[in-house]
């Protein structure tokens, strides 16, 4: 265990990962050692703004302190073991963790924004029937450092890749929509989000970070007030019967509890629109009646719906809704006053879409 009660990667037994610390944690550690507070901000700036991976490079810090920092901490990076590039510019990174598990992180360039889709767990226990990640079960939660390191490693890669234009190298948005259910790892996620927002110059604002949940409503209610960013709910159905058939978690957290938790979130963050993710599955949840029912369910909330098109994967029997159905569904919501953009499939040729991520080299750890 490290000084902050965090299990350290075996390769760095005696040192603490600095990415696991909030700025407050770091400052209180430094102050305890008689080091002035402002050093904490300087170190954070080197790590989060300039992407430094070594204390030696922190040139406005005296050499003696740099040596001490190196004795106490290390700056974690994940190892890229695979990169898949889609013809639409999407890049999927396969990353190796210290225990040989692997996760995936996806970079999605668009016209006005560049988004990183970050994983929060190795695998997922929620088991949505349309999701390849869920199909392979749960292994473990990611630590704060592993969540932050996904962002840093993608940024490093983009900054050193000469084929990318300057504009496409700037990461503007982060979505917790990769492998795993973020609210089942909420302590580490919230700490990571706070650190990612910490740099005044390059930090990502709360409006540009989205936590997407299948609706773990007891935790959502608990953290609603402190949630420092946008909220997306993977709803995918307008009623409990359909939702339970494709998302078994609905038997525990039903739609009524989701709406109540959303209200609670809006009490604290009413200015931030909630997004309902809705994956259109042919003949399952894509009828006009479903659209009308969905409208009735959410029209009183400050919300919008993202209509997602299903990307098929081997072993899954669901089919995507035909384009005319998708358009009709969007029209019904739009006529009822709910914004419902149709999200185009991204990274289809490299299986990088929502619900398609999976560890390609799943190794179950020995504990
Ligand atoms: Fe887990 Fe999300 Fe997949 Fe559902 S869709 S199984 S919550 S990763």
Domain CATH number, residue 15: 1.10.150.530
Q: Which residue of 136, 180, 186, 250 sits with most ligand 1 atoms within 8 Å of its CB, as the best mutation to test the pocket?
A: 180
Higher pLDDT, 175 or 358: 175
Q: What is the pLDDT of residue 206?
A: 85
Decide if 359 is inside a domain. Answer: no
Q: For residue 354, give the ligand 1 atom closest to its CA.
A: 5
Q: What is the pLDDT of residue 319?
A: 95
Nearest one of 326, 293, 325 to 308, comparing CA atoms? 326
Q: What is the pLDDT of residue 13?
A: 57
Q: What is the pLDDT of residue 76?
A: 86
Domain limits for position 224 = 79-350
Q: What is the pLDDT of residue 168?
A: 72
Residues annotated catalytic, as ranges:
104, 354
Q: For residue 134, give the ligand 1 atom closest to its CA.
A: 6
Does the pLDDT at position 102 exceed 80? yes
Virtual CA dihedral for 226, 232, 234, 240, nearest 10 degrees?
70
Q: Going by CA atoms, what residue is nearest to atom 8 of ligand 1?
A: 180
214 lies in the same domain as 315: yes
Is 320 close to ligand 1, i.e. is its CB under 6 Å away? no
Higher pLDDT, 343 or 360: 343
Total number of domains constituting the chain: 2
Does the pLDDT at position 235 exceed 70? yes
186 lies in the same domain as 246: yes
Decide if 360 is inside a domain. Answer: no
Does the pLDDT at position 287 exceed 80? yes
Does the pLDDT at position 364 exceed 70? no
Is 359 close to ligand 1, i.e. is its CB under 6 Å away? no
Which of 74, 94, 118 marks a domain boundary?
74
Which of 20, 48, 74 marks a domain boundary?
74
Residue 131 and residue 219 in contact, taking contact as beta carbons nearer than 8 Å: no
358 CA from centroid of ligand 1 (Å): 10
Does the pLDDT at position 347 exceed 90? no
355 CA from centroid of ligand 1 (Å): 6
Q: What is the pLDDT of residue 352?
A: 60
200 lies in the same domain as 281: yes
Model confidence over 31-56: pLDDT tens digits? 999 999 999 999 999 999 999 999 99
88 lies in the same domain as 173: yes
134 lies in the same domain as 210: yes
124 CA from centroid of ligand 1 (Å): 6
Q: For residue 357, give the ligand 1 atom closest to its CA.
A: 8
Does the pLDDT at position 353 exceed 70? no
State how far the Cα of 256 lies from the Cα of 338, in Å rounded to an integer. 19
Decide if 17 is inside a domain. Answer: yes
Domain CATH number, residue 272: 3.20.20.70
Is 127 close to ligand 1, i.e. is its CB under 6 Å away? yes
Reported as a pLDDT band with limits 50, 70 and 90, residue 357 is: low
Q: What is the pLDDT of residue 297?
A: 98
State how far the Cα of 241 lies from the Cα of 218, in Å rounded to an integer. 21
Q: What is the pLDDT of residue 100?
A: 93
234 CA from centroid of ligand 1 (Å): 9
Residue 220 and residue 265 in contact, taking contact as beta carbons nearer than 8 Å: yes
49 lies in the same domain as 93: no
Is 181 close to ligand 1, i.e. is its CB under 6 Å away? yes
Q: What is the pLDDT of residue 363?
A: 33
Q: What is the pLDDT of residue 165?
A: 75
Mean pLDDT computed over every residue of the chain: 89
Decide if 29 is inside a domain. Answer: yes
Decide if 253 is inside a domain. Answer: yes
Model confidence over 132-160: pLDDT tens digits? 887 878 999 999 999 999 999 999 999 88
35 lies in the same domain as 84: no
Q: Going by CA atoms, what residue is nearest to atom 6 of ligand 1?
A: 134
Residues 6 or more apart from 85 whose CB is under 8 A from it?
Answer: 91, 350
Higher pLDDT, 200 or 230: 230
Q: For residue 130, give the ligand 1 atom closest to its CA.
A: 5
Does the pLDDT at position 272 exceed 80? yes
Which of 17, 41, 74 marks a domain boundary?
74
Q: How many CA atoms lie within 13 A of 295 on its CB side?
A: 19
21 lies in the same domain as 98: no
52 lies in the same domain as 179: no
Decide if 366 is inside a domain. Answer: no
Q: What is the pLDDT of residue 313?
A: 84
Decide if 364 is inside a domain. Answer: no
34 CA from centroid of ligand 1 (Å): 46
59 lies in the same domain as 188: no
160 lies in the same domain as 291: yes
Residue 275 and residue 305 in contact, taking contact as beta carbons nearer than 8 Å: yes
259 lies in the same domain as 334: yes
Higher pLDDT, 117 or 358: 117
Decide if 365 is inside a domain. Answer: no
Q: How many CA atoms lie within 13 A of 188 on its CB side?
A: 24
356 CA from centroid of ligand 1 (Å): 9
């Amino acid at each position: 265990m490290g000084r902050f009660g965090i299990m350290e990667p075996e390769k760095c037994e005696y040192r603490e990962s600095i990415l696991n610390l909030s700025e407050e944690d770091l400052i209180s550690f430094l102050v305890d050692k008689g080091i002035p507070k402002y050093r904490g901000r300087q170190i954070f700036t080197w790590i989060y703004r300039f992407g430094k991976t070594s204390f030696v490079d922190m040139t406005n810090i005296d050499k003696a302190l740099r040596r001490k920092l190196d004795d106490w901490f290390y700056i974690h990076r994940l190892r890229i073991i695979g990169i898949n590039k889609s013809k639409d510019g999407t890049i999927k990174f396969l990353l190796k963790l210290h225990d040989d598990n692997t996760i995936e992180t996806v970079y999605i360039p668009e016209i006005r924004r560049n988004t990183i889709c970050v994983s929060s767990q190795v695998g997922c226990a929620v088991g949505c029937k349309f999701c390849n990640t869920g199909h392979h079960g749960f292994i473990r939660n990611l630590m704060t450092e592993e969540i932050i390191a996904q962002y840093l490693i993608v940024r490093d890669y983009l900054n050193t890749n000469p084929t990318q234009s300057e504009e496409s190298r700037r990461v503007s948005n982060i979505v917790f929509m990769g492998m795993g259910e973020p609210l089942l790892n909420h302590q580490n996620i919230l700490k990571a989000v706070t650190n990612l927002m910490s740099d005044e110059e390059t930090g990502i604002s709360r409006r540009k970070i989205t936590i997407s949940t299948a609706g773990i409503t007891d935790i959502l209610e608990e953290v609603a007030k402190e949630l420092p960013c946008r909220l997306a709910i993977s709803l995918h159905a307008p009623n409990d019967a359909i939702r339970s058939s494709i998302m078994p978690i609905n038997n525990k957290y039903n739609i009524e509890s989701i709406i109540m938790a959303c209200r609670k979130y809006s009490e604290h963050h009413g200015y931030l629109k909630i997004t309902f993710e809705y994956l259109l599955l042919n003949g399952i949840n894509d009828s006009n009646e479903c659209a009308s029912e969905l409208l009735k369910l959410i029209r009183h909330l400050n919300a919008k719906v993202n209509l997602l098109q299903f990307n098929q994967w081997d072993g899954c029997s669901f089919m995507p809704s035909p384009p005319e159905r998708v358009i009709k569904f969007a029209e019904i919501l739009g006529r009822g006053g709910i914004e419902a953009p149709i999200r185009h499939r991204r990274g289809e040729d490299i299986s990088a879409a929502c619900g398609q991520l999976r560890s390609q080299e799943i190794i179950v750890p020995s504990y």
